Each structure stands twice: as structure tokens, then as C-alpha cells.
A = this chain, B = another copy of it.
Amino acid sequence: MRIGVDVMGGDFAPDAIIEGAVDSLQLLSGEERVVLIGDENHISGKLGEMKVNPVLFDIVHAPEVILMSDSPAKAFAQKKRSSIAIGYGMLKNGSLDGFCSAGNTGAMMVGASYSVNVIPGVFRPALATVIPRIDNHDSVLLDVGLNPDCKPDVLLQYGILGTLFAKYVLGIENPDVGLLNIGEEETKGTATVKAAYELMKEHPGLNFAGNVEGHGLFLKSMPDVIVCDGFVGNIVLKQAEVFHHIYKLRNLKDSFFDRLDFENIGGTPIVGINANVVIGHGISRRKAIMNMIHQTKAVVHGNLAQRIKEAI
């Protein structure tokens, strides 16, 4: 298995990325290779400084950088020798099994849609994030930001994509799927969510658990998959982040609140495209990068893109 890592993307790139990649080796087997894509000189220099044998990695030189401030579509088209463009090229020609970056999210999305492409039959890809439950299990929440406006059939399909994620990446047998809503009753919510409820209720093969309210999140009773549009999902995810931030600020200590730390989650897979791609937080440091790489490994192991291709 070959996991490509964008060394040039992220607020603390390239050094934090290389450090995180070095740390990630602890939990990788000999069959799993990390491919560092970025400025070759810098990578060699940094590995030397860290006294890490460079043969532990494959290194692919990328002389261009897509900056956080670059216009995504333009940069992806013009900077063909950037780490993001090279990573997607390698994904497409099969020389990578997975690719991850904490860089320009827009450029990563452009690559997803125009380079490896959306899986035929998928209406809209989604960003799926793992969220913790107090019983020490995890659930998957999607979409967390790609599609702020979602039609009912898109929400239904997120239920299916999320089921495949829960099953093959998290290893949950027969995952149940909840629809995030403002009441338990079928008649609650926006017109779109009500219509999605009807579709999900009747869809064979979807283990539908009905509506889940905001105060049902994170509890033991939370279904394995939570479906919502990218507007609501993004706000739920960031609200969890701010609670974690306040928890740290106030010097509290608790294992559940620790699990809300994005550094422990590592990254957010793009679900519904022809490749296994994980997007990291721009502010990722060493530990978050390590976990982004492990997250990518889990997605590749679950063979997620292929499973979706077969199911849709």
C-alpha cells in the first residue's frame, strides 16, 4: 500500500508534515509505504536533521506549491508540478492507493472532481468526519461542509455512503443511520429533511434509525452514521471544536473531551470519488499529520472508493 502525503500543504508545512510522517511509521507495517511529495531538498535535509533514514520513505519531487491563498481551480490547472497536482496524478495512474493533504482544501476538491472524478451514480461527494461517542465507539457524520444546499435524494445517498464508511473503515456490522433533525417525529424539520426522511424510511438496505436531535449527538444512543447537509454538519463539527478549545483553555481533564480534539482524528475523507483522499485541517501540527496518515491508511484498508463503486 502506498500513501501519498502532500508535504507542502498546511500552515506548518513542510516541517510539521515531515515530522508527522516520521511519527506515522510506528503504526505502519512494512507493506505500507509513505510517499512524501514535495521539495526533495527540503525533505532530505529535514530527514537528515531528524536522523531518519530516507529509505524508509519514497520521495517524489514537487517543485511548485499551491498556497493557502491561491485560487483553487486556477492553481490546480496551472501548477502542474505542485504536490497536490502530482499527488492526484499518481492516484489516477495507480501509483498511489491513497493521498492526504492539509493544504488548500479548494484545490484538493478541484483535484477530486476534475482529476480522479466523482464515481458515476454519486450525486455529490461529501466530507465525512469521525465523531466520538461517550461509550468509546465512533460514528461518522456527513456532510461536514462540501454541500451546504442538499436535495432529499442527496441526503439519502449520504446515508448509503456513510453506511459503507462505517462498515468498511470503522468496521461496524450493519451500521444504523440517523437523520439530524429538530425533533424525533417524522413531521419535523425543513421541507427537504422531511422528504429525505420519507426516502430513507423506505430505502431497502438502509438501517434507518429515524431522526436524531442535537442533544442525541455524542451519546451512546447516537447512530453509527449521522446524515445532514454540509451547512449544518460544518456547524456541528466546528461547535464540537470550540467546546474542545474551551475545555483545554479551562484546564479540564477528561478522556471524552480529549477525543474531540481534531488532532486525534486527523482528517476528513472525501467520500464518493474514484480514489481514497483525506483532507487535513490547515492548522495541523505533527500529531494531527500523523493521524491524518493513519486515517488515510484506514480508508485505503477499507477499500472505500472501490466499495462505493460497487454499491452505487
Chain A residues engaging chain B, CB cutoff 8 angstroms: 134, 145, 148-149, 180, 182, 188-191, 193, 213-219, 230-232, 234-243, 245-246, 249-250, 252, 254, 256-257
Docked-complex contact B250 and A191, CB < 8 angstroms: no
Closest 3 CB pairs of A and B: A214-B238, A214-B235, A215-B238
Tell me which of B182, B214, B215 contacts A230 (CB under 8 A): B182
A245 neighbours in B (Cβ, 8 Å): 215, 219
In the bound assembly, the distance between CA atoms of A216 and B235 in angstroms comes to 10
Chain B residues positioned under 8 Å from A246 (CB to CB): 134, 218-219, 256-257
Q: Main SS of the interface on chain A?
A: helix
CB pairs A–B below 8 angstroms (9 shown):
A182-B234, A182-B238, A214-B234, A214-B236, A214-B241, A214-B242, A215-B239, A218-B243, A219-B245
Residues of chain B contacted by A145 (CB below 8 angstroms):
182
Copies of this chain in the oligomer: 2
Contacts of A193 in B (CB 8 A): 148, 231
Which single residue of chain B is at the shortest CB-CB distance from A235?
B214
Q: Is the CB of A149 within 8 A of B190?
A: yes
Q: A180 touching B235 by the CB < 8 A rule? A: yes
- Minimum CB–CB distance for A239 against chain B, Å: 4
B254/A252 in contact, CB under 8 A: yes
A30 to chain B minimum Cβ distance, whole angstroms, is 39
Contact A182 B148 (CB under 8 A): yes
Nearest-neighbour CB distance to chain B for A182, whole angstroms, equals 4
Contact in complex: A235, B149 (CB < 8 Å): no
Kindly list chain B residues whose C-beta atoms are within 8 Å of the C-beta of A239.
214-215, 217, 236, 239-240
Identify 9 new A-B residue pairs, CB closer than 8 A, beyond the known A148-B189, A215-B245, A252-B252. Answer: A134-B246, A182-B230, A214-B238, A217-B242, A219-B242, A219-B246, A232-B232, A246-B257, A250-B254
Identify which of A190, A219, A240 gathers the most chain B CB atoms within 10 Å of its CB.
A190
Chain B residues lying within 8 Å of A148, measured Cβ to Cβ, are 182, 188-190, 193
Most buried by B among A213, A214, A237, A246: A214
Partner of A182, one of B190, B218, B231: B231
Question: How far is A246 from B258 in the complex, measured between Cα atoms in Å?
Answer: 13
**Complex Cα–Cα for A256 and B254 (A):** 16
> How far is A249 from B133 in the complex, measured between Cα atoms in Å?
13
Task: List the B side residues contacting A191 at CB < 8 Å.
Answer: 149
Interface pair A235/B134, CB less than 8 Å apart: no
- Measured CB to CB, the nearest residue on chain B to A260 is B243
Interface centre among A219, A230, A236, A246 (most CB of B within 10 A): A246
Question: Could you tell me the distance in whole angstroms from the C-beta of A49 to the nearest C-beta in chain B?
Answer: 34
Q: Which residues of B contact A235 (CB under 8 A)?
A: 180, 182, 213-214, 232, 235-236
Are A231 and B190 interface neighbours, CB within 8 A? yes
CA distance A134 to B246 in the complex (A): 8
Taking CB atoms, residues of chain B closer than 8 Å to A238 are 182, 213-215
Q: Is the CB of A241 within 8 A of B215?
A: yes
